[in-house]
Amino acid sequence: MTLRDQDEEIVEVELIEDGELVRAASAARPLADAHTVLMPGEEIPTSDDPRTTYTERDLYVSKETAHALKGAEREGSPQRRTAMCLFEAWCAQQGRVAKPCTTATYTEYGRHLMAKSLKVSTIRNYMYLIRTSMPPGKKPDNSLYLPLLGQYRKKNKRALRRKEAFPITLPYLVPMMEKAEADDRPIGWRDSAMFAFGYRFLGRSIEDVDLDLEDLTITDDRVFVWLAEDKTHQGEEQTIILHDREDLRLVFRLRRDVDWLAEQGIATGPVWREILRSGKVATPETRATKGGGATKRGLYLCPQTVNDRVKHWFDAAGLKSGGRPVSSHGLRAGGATDLGMSGATDEELEAAGRWKKGSRMPRERYARPTKNTARHLFKKVPVHDPNAQAQE
């Protein structure tokens, strides 16, 4: 059998009856590469070096660790799951192996995505997620796919155009929340609180739906949000203060929803939950009954559900987006746009949306467009008056 380390170094061993692994009696070979570091006096290690002898215990992980690893793989990012699900479905149709895939399969799938006229950024993201989802040491070579993407980029200029989410600013957000609350039902309370929170929190959709009740502290005029980490602050916890506003009524809407959950006996776990038509909160048992017991998110609401609710209430309120896509990201975009239109600096936008320092995102998508919209250079040109010219 063969053992491989991260640098693909090969050590030949054989398994004997008592489970101990010993080195094969082949000629000693140097075991060194460009990353080997030796201290003065140390000899270059060889394949017959007896100083390290592995047993089966060194090779196997426990059942608990194996279960945790599988769980971690299942609970990967929604984008990675989506990319892999689509890739696996395509591979099944083509009679190809999805994982680990060959370089030919990987390249062919890239061309398949291009044939669908997807955006360059979408194709690049999907192909990256697929490649990095492969087992260590078995990632496909992307040297064939990348030139194809470069050629596609040149020939399909429209594929470079980004369809930005419609920014749900306050003039759109407030009617949506009022419409959601019109029937005075728990699902409307949840949705209006979720929209107000999404706008004010300026969070990414996955950050919103991953919050637990224990992460929130609601006071009379503000909400404290404890965030373990986010996309740009890995391993860095934060406490974010959300001051309330009269038009947003975040404290009222959030407290009403949290109090209703408490009446259902829920004081811990996900803030945003599925609500049944009966007006009750979904449980693992009810989700199983309706065919939802196997969802990877468990009791946590899926980002796609938030997407659907945003679209539902946007349409229900009779609002129009001018053809731009309406999604849950519009809540984050709306808050950032309102800040940009109100004179927030690039640095203030960065801090509010927790973008990486120096990120081009808040500058190019929110601050600069709103400033350009406000500019009207042709106001300096006098209005043409044909009557005035005739009198001259």
pLDDT, tens digit (0-9, with 9 covering 90-100), for 185-205: 999 999 999 999 999 999 888
Mean pLDDT of 325-348: 88
The answer to whether 302 and 209 have CB atoms below 8 angstroms apart is yes
Is pLDDT above 70 for 337?
yes
Q: Give the pLDDT band (50/70/90) at residue 172.
A: very high
pLDDT digits (tens, 9 = 90+) for 154-170: 887 665 566 678 899 99
Is pLDDT above 80 for 184?
yes
Mean pLDDT of 11-28: 46
Helical ranges in the chain per DSSP H: 56-59, 63-74, 78-94, 103-115, 120-132, 145-155, 170-181, 186-201, 205-209, 250-263, 284-289, 303-316, 329-341, 346-353, 360-362, 368-374, 386-391
Q: Give the pLDDT band (50/70/90) at residue 390.
A: low
Give the CA distances from residue 152 to residues 103, 117, 145, 230, 240, in Å, rounded to whole numbers and listed in that order.
19, 9, 11, 33, 43
pLDDT digits (tens, 9 = 90+) for 277-335: 888 888 766 655 554 444 556 788 888 889 999 999 999 999 998 888 899 999 999 99
Distant-in-sequence, close-in-space partners of 306: CB < 8 Å, separation ≥ 6: 194, 198, 205, 208, 209, 272, 328
The answer to whether 168 and 39 have CB atoms below 8 angstroms apart is no
Is pLDDT above 80 for 361?
no
Give the CA distances from residue 86 to residues 33, 54, 118, 159, in Å, rounded to whole numbers and listed in that order.
39, 40, 14, 20
The pLDDT of residue 104: 95
Q: Give the pLDDT band (50/70/90) at residue 175.
A: very high
Which is more confidently placed, 27 or 290? 27
Is pLDDT above 50 for 8?
no
The pLDDT of residue 17: 45
| φ, ψ of residue 242 in degrees (nearest 5) | -110, 100
CATH 1.10.150.130 corresponds to the domain 73-160: yes
The pLDDT of residue 102: 94
Mean pLDDT of 45-69: 76
Which is more confidently placed, 162 or 56? 56
Fold category of 170-370 in CATH? hpI Integrase; Chain A (1.10.443)
The pLDDT of residue 5: 43
Is pLDDT above 80 for 114?
yes
Q: How many other C-beta atoms can be found within 10 angstroms of the C-beta atom of residue 225?
A: 20
The answer to whether 336 and 353 have CB atoms below 8 angstroms apart is yes
Express as a percent the part of the chain with pLDDT over 70.
78
> Which residue pairs, CB below 8 angstroms and at least 24 apart, start in 105-111?
105/140, 106/130, 106/131, 106/140, 106/141, 106/142, 106/145, 107/140, 107/144, 107/145, 107/148, 110/145, 110/148, 110/149, 111/145, 111/148
In the chain, what is the straight-line distance between the N-terminal and C-terminal CA atoms, in Å? 100
Q: Give the pLDDT band (50/70/90) at residue 226.
A: very high
The pLDDT of residue 371: 58
The pLDDT of residue 18: 46
Average pLDDT along the chain: 81
Domain(s) labelled CATH 1.10.150.130 in the chain stretch across 73-160
Which is more confidently placed, 127 or 17? 127
Express as a percent the part of the chain with pLDDT over 90.
39
Q: How many other C-beta atoms can be found within 10 angstroms of the C-beta atom of residue 66?
A: 11
Domain(s) labelled CATH 1.10.443.10 in the chain stretch across 170-370
Is pLDDT above 60 for 22?
no
Is pLDDT above 70 for 252?
yes
Is pLDDT above 60 for 3?
no
